[in-house]
Amino acid sequence: MSMGLGFEADPDLLYKYTTLFDRVLARVFYILFALSGSGFAILVILNWIGVFD
């Protein structure tokens, strides 16, 4: 169901107009993005607890 914000992507069109390399590269960047964000949050929490003092 569309929310009407205009940010929805059609997965069929994305698959049709991208190569395997594009899809692999997108997954690699997404994983790196998620890991760096999670790592940052973990470091902030550990610093807040006082692990690094």
Q: Is the pTM of this model over 0.85?
A: no
Q: pLDDT at position 3, please?
A: 60
pLDDT tier for residue 2 given thresholds of 50, 70 and 90: low
> Which bin fits 19, alpha (ψ -120 to 50), beta or left (φ > 0)?
beta
| 4-52 tens-digit pLDDT | 666 778 889 999 999 999 999 999 999 999 999 999 999 999 999 999 9
CA torsion sign for 44, 45, 51, 53 is positive
- Measured CA to CA, the distance from residue 41 to residue 34 in angstroms comes to 11
Higher pLDDT, 1 or 35: 35
